[in-house]
Amino acid sequence: MKIPANSIFQEMQSMAVEAGTKTQNRLPVQGNSSAEFGDLLKSAIDNVAGLQADAKDKVTAVEMGDRRVSLAEAMIASQKSSVAFEATVQVRNKLVEAYKDIMNMPV
């Protein structure tokens, strides 16, 4: 069974739009600076955990032969979770580096 390229492209565009709306709604944006850094960091980590759980569910569904989940959806979810995890690791590395710099400052 050959799937036309147009339908795959349209499906990818709809997933991109859906991913954009979901990502915008995940992190709370506040006009004032009352949001604490720890809360924002926890929210971002929860977002990454959610993406990883979603990717795992989709990959498992594809492996089990569930026709409601396409291979493309599973691969996209897997890549989104991978990119989110790598970004989180980079933020953690920068925070650790900043902490070390602050601790090495003379008082």
Question: Contact at 8 Å (CB) between 81 and 46?
Answer: no
Whether the model pTM is above 0.75? no
Q: Say what the pLDDT of residue 33 is.
A: 47
Domain boundaries, the chain: 36-107
DSSP 3-state assignment of 74?
A: helix
CA 83 and chain centroid, separation: 7
Q: pLDDT tens for residues 34-50?
A: 467 778 888 889 999 99
Question: Contact at 8 Å (CB) between 81 and 52?
Answer: yes
